[in-house]
Structure 1
Amino acid sequence: MFYFSAKSFSFGGGSKFSSGGISYPSGGSYSYGGGSSWCPPKKPVVVNCPPKKFGFDFGALFKCFLPVYLCPPTKPKPDPKPEPKPDPKPCVDCTDDNPDNSFGGVDKDPGNVIRNPKPDELGAIYGTKVKDTIYGTDGADIIYGLEGADVIYAGNGNDIVYGGANGDTIYGGYGNDTLYGQDGNDYLNGNQGHDKLYGGKGDDIYMIQFEPDEIIELPGEGTDTVRSFLDYTLPDNVENLILMSDQNLNGTGNELNNVITGNSGNNTLKGMDGNDMLFGKDGNDKLYGGNGDDYLDGGNGNDYLNGGEGSDTYVFDLCDSRDIICDYDSTGKSHDVLQFGEGIKASDLGFSRSGSDLLITVDSKNSVTVENWFKGSAYRLEEFSFTETNTSWDSSAISKAIQEQIPQTHGLI
Structure 2
Amino acid sequence: MSLIVQKYGGSSVHSTERIKRVAEHVVATRRQGHDVVVVVSAMGDTTDELLDLARALTPAAAPRELDVLLTTGERISNALMAIAIESLGTEARSFSGAQAGVRTTGAAGRARIVEVVPDRVRSALDRGAVAVVAGFQGISRDTGDVTTLGRGGSDTTAVALAAALKADLCEIYTDVDGVYSADPRLVPDARLLENVGYEVMHELAMSGAKVLAPRSVAYAARHQVPIRVRSSFSTNPGTMVAGSADLPPAEHSSVTGVAHDSSKARITLAGVPDAPELTSRILHLVADVEAELHFAVRGRTDISLVLPAADGPPALRALRQECADLGVEELHYDEQIGKVSLVGNGLLSHPGVLATCCETLTEAGVHLETITTSDIRITALCPAPQLPHAVRAWHTAFALAAPELATVHAGSGR
TM-score by length of 2: 0.24
Larger Rg: 1
TM-score, normalisation: structure 1: 0.24
Choose between structure 1 and 2: higher strand proportion.
1
